[in-house]
Chain A
Amino acid sequence: MRRLLAFVIAALALCTCSREPTVIKFGSVSPLTGPQAEMGQDLANGQRLAVEEANARGGVLGKTLELVVMDDMADPKEAVSAANKLVSDPGVVAVVGHLNSGATIPASTIYNAAGVCMITPAATNPKVTQQGFRSVFRACITDAVQGPIATDFAIDTLGTSSMCVLHDKTAYGQGLAEQFRDRALERGVDVLMFEGIIEGDRDFSAVLTRIKALAPDLIYFGGMYPEGGLLVKQARNLGVEAVFMTGDGCYNPEFMEIGGPESEGAIVSFLAPPWEDQPQAAEFVARFKQRFGQPVKTYAPFGYDCVNILIAAIDRTGKADKASIIEAMREPGFRHDGVIGRTEFDEHGDTKNVILYFYVVKEGRLVPYGS
């Protein structure tokens, strides 16, 4: 009896082995719960839409595309455990993720060791692609690019000649703030203060009081919207009149929600154009809204394009195995035209598509600067 059972199991195993898999799996990791859930959900929805559309077109290489969605809670520990789960599934050939640099950097080590292609839609810390990992790609610009462009904007367009720079001590926030500061020093602008605040803290009045006494033209903050919103609110309540400027981490309706009327006039740089005004994105914005019943918030178009970039890589070689996807994307001629524009990768796996837009808070909404 036992022998018979063993035989049946062996036969079944052989069966599944010999049959060609009928699905292609992509991993998808972003913070679906936790403080950054809103952005993570937006990102994941963009990916879901791309997968659904690909399947509606008849799949990839005639196979059904499946998105294995995981949650990293923006936490490096969770990110690593999600990455380990994904690479242990032999069916997962590539991963779109993660959102935060702090989560992406440790997770990328695991994907690279397993030879699984990882493309991050939103992690901007330069380090992500500077580890010499062949399987790591990025669809957004880095802080090394964002910081200096933002500095130039502050100096040339806003006429800033002195500034205080704050950051939240995370890989993202501090990295961005350092790039911003370094460029400012290079251009001979006074940096009166460079200091970290504590992520999750609510009271910044002490450091802001000090800034008030320094009376800079501009306060730059490298960090996310929960702290950014509170900073701008408390600064205004203390009577600080400096321009408040921050990066993509504050490009979120919550920034104005938390900052309240005090956030008026704050400048936010972001990696993408106003989606509604872009002819190539208009259709996507409409489809997204119809499918999920809510508007595109921030990173959905990046999530959408990342999935389509992976599909383009598979279509290019006609092979859906892990190594072929990486090789296809590493080829110099590889390019993809999508909602975020044309994506091409340099030798580090970084996009050559340099886009940075400036927004200003007007009547509680982020509108393009100068419009």
Chain B
Amino acid sequence: MASVAVEFDPHAARAVSSARAAWLFAGAAAGVIVLSCALAGFAPLGFSIATVFLFAGPHNWFEARYMLTRMPGRWGPLAPYFITGISGVLLLAGAFALLPWIGQTATAAAWTNLLAIWNTLLIGWIVTLALMRSRQNPRRDWTWLVPLGLTAIALNWLWPLALSLALVYLHPLMALWFLDREIGRLQPAWRTAYRGCLLLVPACLILLWWNLSAAPNLPGDDVLTWQITNHAGGGMLSGVSTHLLVSTHVFLEMLHYGVWIVAIPLVSVRMAPWKLDNVPLARRSTFWRACVIGAIATGVVIMLVLWGAFLADYPLTRSVYFTVAMLHVLAEVPFLLRLL
């Protein structure tokens, strides 16, 4: 019946094609989720090392490329919003990079206070951006974010490390939110299938926690193992198996990489990353086009340098990378708010 409809009705043909593409997309997404869960559960350390080596650089590059498509060519009335966003990203990322240096000399209490101050600035920046965004079209009533943000600040001052750990686990989920908004905007026929796939994520997490809640801690007391377990909160949640923590974290991290490297380019960018037809800034002037080309080329060079550095000294590069990576974590905030 479908083939008859295709022959006579171009709308039906598109519908059939779109439905087929949606199920193909959902099948691939489900496969990635299940495979990531299995690898994260069975080989958390190896999977973490491999995923960061392979995907850390490229996912930043693809993310930057996506942001170029979403950045308006001329800011106009949006200028205060983007200036607040970009300056916040640079200042917060710079302050974050200084924290480990300060930590070398500060006492534990002073360092914890600095972390709480940084978290407070982060929350304040996010709420400010959200309130600015709420006055843009489509207008939103987001004043409730003020009491929510103040409550988050209060909790942060009581448990600063808990908020930091929450960010570690929530950041990968932001990518899924981005993808949901982009699918809703550009491929609405895929949304049901995508949201169905998302149900697999909590199912996989429950499966991981069920199997690993009593698992012994991951073996190894080398610097790299310590980095990976500490990244997942092993130094803080002393009563929880580091196997469970690392598996959970690397599972979510892999989904995050998958979204930025495969799904977003497929759904949203929809052209080769080096083509600039969908980059508004590149259409502004020749100068801006050269800047955009330069930025994309610099991204490629950084990616290659990062791979080389990983091969030369993996633990050191991992440590430096995850400090600098705060830039992309923060940069997602203004763009996600613009999508809501």
To the question of whether A and B form a pair in one complex, the answer is no
